[in-house]
């Protein structure tokens, strides 16, 4: 049975649609194996599939394309929730943060931005390539960057500010000085890594969780969509494993931004199904019953050679779970290899 696609209300009263289209790897000129690019995929998502939530970032290099599609859509601007993010290399000063926002604002060309997130706790020095953001590092702390974002929020050009990839540890540090509580924390989340402790903490603080990579990534022996529990529930609900994984996340109160350029998959991803409490609980137990599945899969952010993520260690990020496909476990992982 099809379930409605709900909105979630943020701590500032804004509403975020529960399912959005992720635009990572949609940079200008990039096409998929079918020759489709981000503009066509996004146009189809909005016009044909009914998406009203779009997730991009300065890092993705496709803000101009996203803005063009939203501006020329038959759907009123105010009905589409657009998220973008502050890049790691634009944080060395308040002026750099302002310039980065102005650049995103101009490229999108939408009159306002619905949500602007700090993409990572760490910035990256344009001179040395080294990470900063924590106390004692050579550059502004993420708390200072957040203060810069708060000032821009006051301008009214962005309706919501938030963070991404923040752990409980780093949120606690941020909240000690923040005047505005982040409305959103966008993190990797899927049945192999639900990060429930973080979600519970954020809920208590009034911070909404959005999952990126909600369907995982097709890595050897870590493919979420091949999981037997998801397949069984998909059969029970006359749906697919991807629909089950996304419906599970939404049932737990988290929005999702899956990426796809195929119209069939785009339509499928927004077609949620109703899950019973027992089905939700079964999915919750997947990573507990098989520890080999407890892993992060967004390996594009990780450096397996020096065991860092954009220059910070798992300990500095406050992550207990690492990247098993890279032989890069965290303290919460019970094994060091998936082989």
Q: Confirm whether 153 is a catalytic residue.
A: no
Given its phi and psi angles, is residue 233 left (phi above 0), alpha (psi -120 to 50 degrees) or beta?
A: alpha
Count the helix, strand and coil residues of the chain and give each as a percent rounded to the nearest 5: 35, 15, 45
Of the listed ranges 138-142, 222-226, 256-260, the least confidently predicted one is 222-226
275, pLDDT greater than 70: yes
Do the annotations mark residue 208 as ligand-binding?
Answer: no
CATH 3.30.750.80 for domain 7-290, yes or no, is no
Which of 306, 310, 302, 312 lies closest to 322 in space, CA to CA? Answer: 302
Among 51, 60, 212, 294, the one annotated catalytic: 60
Residues paired with residue 21 on neighbouring β-strands, in sequence order: 54
**Domain ranges within the chain, ordered by starting residue:** 7-290
Q: pLDDT value at position 2?
A: 54
What is this structure's pTM? 0.94
Q: What is the mean pLDDT of residues 9-14?
A: 98
């Amino acid at each position: 049975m099809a379930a409605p696609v709900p909105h979630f209300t943020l701590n500032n009263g804004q509403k975020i649609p529960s399912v959005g289209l992720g635009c990572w790897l949609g940079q200008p000129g990039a096409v998929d194996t079918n020759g489709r690019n981000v503009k066509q995929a996004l146009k189809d998502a909005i016009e044909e599939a009914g998406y009203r939530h779009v997730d991009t970032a300065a890092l993705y290099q496709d803000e101009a394309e996203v803005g063009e599609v939203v501006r020329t859509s038959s759907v009123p601007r105010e009905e589409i929730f657009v998220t973008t993010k502050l890049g790691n290399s634009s944080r060395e000063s308040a002026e750099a943060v302002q310039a980065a926002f102005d650049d995103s604002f101009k490229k999108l060309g939408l009159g306002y931005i619905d949500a602007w997130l700090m993409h990572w706790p760490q910035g990256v020095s344009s001179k040395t390539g080294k990470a900063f953001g924590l106390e004692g590092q050579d550059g502004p702390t993420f708390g200072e960057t957040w203060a810069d974002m708060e000032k821009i929020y006051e301008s009214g050009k962005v309706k919501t500010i938030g963070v991404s990839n923040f752990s409980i540890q780093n949120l606690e540090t941020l909240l000690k000085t923040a005047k505005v509580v982040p409305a959103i924390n966008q993190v990797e989340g899927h049945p192999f890594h639900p990060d429930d402790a973080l979600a519970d903490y954020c809920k208590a603080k009034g911070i909404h969780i959005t999952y990126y990579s909600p369907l995982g990534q097709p890595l050897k022996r870590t493919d979420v969509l091949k999981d037997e529990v998801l397949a069984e529930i998909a059969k029970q609900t006359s749906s697919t494993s991807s629909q089950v994984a996304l419906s599970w996340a939404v049932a737990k109160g988290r929005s999702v931004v899956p990426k796809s350029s195929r119209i069939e998959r785009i339509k499928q991803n927004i077609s949620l199904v109703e899950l019973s409490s027992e089905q939700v609980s079964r999915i919750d137990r997947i990573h507990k019953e098989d520890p080999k599945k407890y892993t992060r899969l967004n390996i594009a952010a990780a450096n397996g050679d020096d065991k860092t993520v954009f220059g910070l260690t798992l300990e500095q990020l406050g992550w207990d779970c690492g990247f098993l496909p890279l032989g890069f476990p965290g303290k919460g992982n019970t094994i060091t290899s998936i082989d």
